[in-house]
């Protein structure tokens, strides 16, 4: 586990409402070959013909989605997945649509073979960082497979009450041998162990977990994460805010008729009550889905407008929809 410690310096906090966003940005790669990664699919010489023009369109699109989500509210933090490296994140926050925000970057290179990482952007005008770390997820039953680390961040929005962020991108469902669920359960176990450790030192810890979990809220990995108990998953001290949207058959990604809610926010219960110095507005997660980031498929209806269909560049946004929660302060 890599640990970066920074000095703590907190001015008077800005107590305006703020927004926390998570967005799987779908393969935000640069156009340069990295000898340490399997990034051949996103190069000018690849079948996708990924070049500077397409890269700039991608940056412009993702930045405009984020800016639209922040049109009338300040950012607190933005979790990202499927970013190749720190340079693409720097290029993203340098786009005109995002330049007005004072965003810090938490990122390091994960061992994922394709080179896709997770990252956290945080508003330095609102959040003062204490430290960040990266939780390694390893599989004793498949040591050859490498996956994304989990970003772990502790900071302060008010002088007395820290907030803990975790950004995730758990193993995909592509494995044909049945190991994919086991790998997501491994990621859940790693994360749950860290959360239990936090609770030991801070029983009233305020925790925000976000990410692309490659599982739905009622799948085993997430019911375990919320309860810390395989046998009694309904006894939760963490709350998956995507359960209500799931009951309404909403989705953050869609393949043919299959609707999934892999992109989620999970929070400690104490963030759902206004008795706290800051809390989640309406205890709700929202899916950002304006028509301009959707594609109206003639057979399957509205789906997220993605970057490629196979190797054909359609110049969309992402195959996932972004999600967000709003924080209010007393």
Question: CA triplet 149, 152, 158: central angle to 5 degrees?
Answer: 165
pLDDT at residue 7, rounded to an integer? 39
Under DSSP, is residue 278 helix (H, G, I), strand (E, B) or coil?
strand
Instruction: Residue 32: count other Cβ atoms within 10 Å of its Cβ.
Output: 12
pLDDT higher than threshold 60 for residue 207: yes
Read off the DSSP letter of residue 310.
T
Q: Of 98, 52, 95, which is closest to residue 71 (Cα–Cα)?
A: 98
pLDDT higher than threshold 60 for residue 10: no
Least confident of 106-115, 147-156, 174-183: 174-183
pLDDT at residue 174, rounded to an integer? 78
Pairing assessment for the beta strands 206-212 and 162-169 based on DSSP bridges? parallel
pLDDT higher than threshold 80 for residue 161: yes
Mean pLDDT of 198-225: 95
User: Which residue is listed with tokens 């009550």?
Assistant: 273
Mean pLDDT of 272-289: 93
pLDDT at residue 24, rounded to an integer? 98
Q: Give the separation between CA 273 and CA 168, rounded to whole angstroms.
A: 25
pLDDT higher than threshold 90 for residue 314: yes
pLDDT band of residue 2 (cuts 50, 70, 90) is: very low
pLDDT higher than threshold 80 for residue 9: no
pLDDT higher than threshold 70 for residue 6: no
Is 307 within 8 Å of 41 (Cβ atoms)?
A: no
pLDDT band of residue 211 (cuts 50, 70, 90) is: very high
pLDDT tens, position by position, 163-179? 999 999 999 987 655 68
Q: Of 192, 209, 216, which is closest to residue 77 (Cα–Cα)?
A: 209
pLDDT at residue 228, rounded to an integer? 76
Is 232 within 8 Å of 195 (Cβ atoms)?
A: no
Average pLDDT, the chain: 91
- CATH fold for domain 2-7+16-329: Deoxyribonuclease I; Chain A (3.60.10)
Mean pLDDT of 104-130: 95
pLDDT higher than threshold 80 for residue 230: no
What Cα–Cα distance (Å) separates residue 147 from each residue in 110, 150, 171, 183, 186?
A: 7, 10, 6, 9, 11
Q: Give the separation between CA 316 and CA 223, rounded to whole angstroms.
A: 33
What Cα–Cα distance (Å) separates residue 83 from each residue in 74, 118, 119?
A: 23, 6, 8
pLDDT higher than threshold 90 for residue 233: no
Least confident of 3-17, 119-133, 223-237, 274-288: 3-17
Domain boundaries of the chain, sorted by first residue: 2-7+16-329
Mean pLDDT of 139-143: 93
Q: Write down the pTM of the prediction.
A: 0.94
């Amino acid at each position: 586990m890599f640990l970066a410690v920074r000095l703590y310096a907190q001015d008077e906090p800005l107590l305006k409402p703020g927004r926390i966003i998570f967005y799987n940005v779908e393969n935000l790669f640069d156009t340069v070959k990295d000898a340490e990664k399997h990034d051949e699919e996103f190069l000018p010489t690849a079948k996708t013909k990924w070049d500077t023009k397409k890269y700039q369109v991608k940056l412009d699109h993702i930045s405009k989605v984020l800016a639209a989500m922040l049109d009338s509210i300040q950012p607190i933090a933005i979790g990202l997945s499927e970013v190749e490296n720190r340079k693409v994140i720097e290029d993203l926050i340098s786009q005109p649509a995002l330049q007005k925000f004072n965003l810090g970057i938490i990122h390091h290179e994960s061992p994922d073979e394709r080179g896709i990482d997770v990252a956290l952007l945080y508003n330095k005008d609102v959040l003062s960082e204490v430290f960040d770390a990266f939780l390694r997820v390893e599989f004793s039953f498949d040591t050859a497979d490498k996956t994304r680390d989990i970003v772990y961040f502790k900071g302060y929005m008010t002088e007395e009450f820290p907030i803990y962020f975790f950004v995730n991108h758990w193993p995909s469902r592509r494995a044909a041998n049945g190991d994919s669920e086991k790998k997501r359960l491994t990621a859940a176990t790693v994360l749950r162990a860290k959360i239990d450790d936090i609770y030991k030192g801070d029983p009233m810890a305020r925790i925000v977990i976000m990410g692309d979990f490659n599982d739905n809220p009622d799948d085993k990995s997430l019911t375990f994460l919320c309860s810390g108990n395989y046998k009694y998953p309904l006894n939760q001290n963490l709350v998956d805010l995507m359960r209500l949207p799931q009951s309404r058959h909403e989705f953050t990604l869609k393949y043919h008729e299959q609707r999934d809610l892999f992109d989620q926010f999970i929070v400690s219960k104490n963030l759902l009550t206004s008795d706290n110095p800051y809390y989640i507005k309406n205890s709700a997660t929202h899916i950002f889905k304006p028509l301009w980031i959707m594609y109206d498929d003639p057979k399957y209806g509205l789906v997220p407008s993605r970057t490629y269909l196979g190797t054909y560049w359609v110049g969309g946004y992402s195959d996932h929809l972004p999600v967000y929660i709003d924080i209010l302060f007393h």
